[in-house]
Structure 1
């Protein structure tokens, strides 16, 4: 309450973007622009595939896969806008975890669509539905429509490969798992295109079932992406061990901050609890003072500063002096 008896205004801190150093802020701004470019490329590809898809099951699945590829970049853009909001009493940790929420949304959508397409493509195979691919007139000449399908698949599969490689570098620089999932899908686009081309060629040589088999292969690829990313995203939101941007290994920063804490003169032992908040980490460091040491607020503040300076991703640090490491935290990095 203020001196007039009115509620005091809610205090806020810097936004999630402000938590990033200048270099990462520039990379984030560049990534946002690049995501808009990639969305435009995807929309053009989706329209091109839709025009020539015909009744081919493989082409239908390829079109749906391209459509689903829009989800990660859109989720990224929404999350990037969300993290601009500063932390407050209502959201004391800020909005960094919008990245994790976006990851879950994109992964769950991929999983659901992958499962649906596997079932749909399998039913098409079981029902022995033979896709007709006839002739079309182009520039006054009749050509097999399959050649047009194959040409479109070849052309539309090339840009995502290069886009994916670019996004992968940006994902590592930002420690952004949504961007990584997006890049991983883009990089693997050529495998789906190849399966689709084989399916269409199968129709051309009389192997009607090749189309459905190719569709199932592409559907399983979508399903795999969904399962992998959903597992990683849920692990992050449920405070699993902080891992690298690709989720393959425990993040080395956990060990680094513990080493810095243990090397402090007044600290006998220390164990950290590192939480991945999205682009940045939240660290709770349990420290056991050396016998006879008098721990002051300045000691804790100096240690907080030292840990924050280990790397830019260490954004929020809490120092908890304890008589002994709590049993539930008495572990060491593998």
Structure 2
């Protein structure tokens, strides 16, 4: 399956998130108003912004599918990473807003316990969002989509947040009235934690950062190929969900052009099958040690 097909499949996950978030946000905010729960209101507002974040992911996936043009000869794949970055900004903003409202409420006088219907609403929606998380996580693994994996992480965070909301509301029924705003505070912290994690990963990729352990794994795979004497240089970077690899391979100087080209084809095939990497730029050079050995002989 090519990268464009993966991006098209990834859009399904974005739509699933959008539909689930619209339903959950409307339900939570409506029940929160009726039951008087700050924690559920914070949870519902979080889901409202998640709709915006999911739309950003969807737009990013759509733009990423555009073919290369004169201004973008490498394609538009980084739009997917930018979409994940936008989603992280939205999460960070909402998390700060929720915390700023929850802290004063914890010390406010004349607090009343919210209706337990708010707790049951939080519990039901947590089950829904956990199901969405499982679906998007598997789809993200299948399509190798960073934006969709970020959306899945947000889905999981929302499921955990709703469970925390349920605990806070249930505790308030036993006159532990501070538990409801405390749950809202925890909601805000979890939202910020998730947003910060996505922000760090997307910035790392946009600045051409790449995991050294993965790079060494690629080096080992190439070095094991028959005909490869050694590797003088290897670099890799992300381009959206795709990985671009540049490698300089040293071979026996007596090899013909056809034989050297055959080695590059084997490298490309191994990268595709073992690492799902389709873009590999290979530069073949004669091994200097082999040349020196021949000169001495």
Q: TM-score, normalised by structure 1?
A: 0.74
Q: Distance in 2 between matches of 1:300 and 1:100?
A: 36
Counterparts of 1:157-196 in structure 2 under 5 Å? 157-196=126-165
Match of 2:190 in 1: 221
Match of 1:232 among 201, 206, 220: 201
Match of 1:38 in 2: 17
Structure 2 residue matching 1:53: 3-state secondary structure: helix
Q: Distance in 2 between matches of 1:239 and 1:200?
A: 45
For residue 159 of structure 1, report the CA deviation from its aligned partner: 1.2
Distance 1:301 1:91, change over 3 A: farther
Distance 1:176 1:254, change over 3 A: farther
Counterparts of 1:9-88 in structure 2 under 5 Å? 19-20=2-3, 25=5, 28-54=7-33, 55-88=36-69
Q: Distance in 2 between matches of 1:238 and 1:34?
A: 26
Distance 1:146 1:275, change over 3 A: same
Whether the 8 Å CA contact 1:168–1:183 is kept in 2: the answer is yes
For residue 309 of structure 1, report the CA deviation from its aligned partner: 1.8
Match of 1:305 among 265, 273, 282: 265
For residue 303 of structure 1, report the CA deviation from its aligned partner: 4.5
Match of 1:111 in 2: 92
Match of 2:234 in 1: 272
CA offset digits 1:12-52 (Å, max 9, x no partner): xxxxxx943xxx82x54444234323322221111111111
Whether the 8 Å CA contact 1:287–1:320 is kept in 2: the answer is yes
Distance 1:305 1:19, change over 3 A: farther
Q: Distance in 2 between matches of 1:266 and 1:151?
A: 62
Q: Distance in 1 between matches of 2:65 and 2:58?
A: 11
CA offset digits 1:76-115 (Å, max 9, x no partner): 3112211222223421221111121111111122122212
Match of 2:176 in 1: 207
Runs of 5+ consecutive residues of structure 2 not aligned to the other structure: 289-297
Match of 1:316 in 2: 279
Distance 1:203 1:34, change over 3 A: same
For residue 61 of structure 1, report the CA deviation from its aligned partner: 1.2
For residue 170 of structure 1, report the CA deviation from its aligned partner: 0.9
CA offset digits 1:167-207 (Å, max 9, x no partner): 11111111112211211222343321222122223333322
Bigger helix share:
2
Counterparts of 1:252-263 in structure 2 under 5 Å? 255-256=217-218, 259-260=221-222, 263=225
Distance 1:106 1:300, change over 3 A: farther
Q: Distance in 2 between matches of 1:268 and 1:35?
A: 43
Runs of 5+ consecutive residues of structure 1 not aligned to the other structure: 1-17, 134-144, 244-249, 326-334
Whether the 8 Å CA contact 2:228–2:249 is kept in 1: the answer is no
Whether the 8 Å CA contact 1:72–1:178 is kept in 2: the answer is no
Match of 2:73 in 1: 92
Q: Distance in 2 between matches of 1:178 and 1:114?
A: 20
Distance 1:305 1:79, change over 3 A: farther
Distance 1:266 1:217, change over 3 A: closer
In terms of mean alpha carbon deviation, does 273-282 or 192-201 score higher?
192-201
The aligned length equals: 283
Distance 1:88 1:161, change over 3 A: same
Distance 1:98 1:207, change over 3 A: same
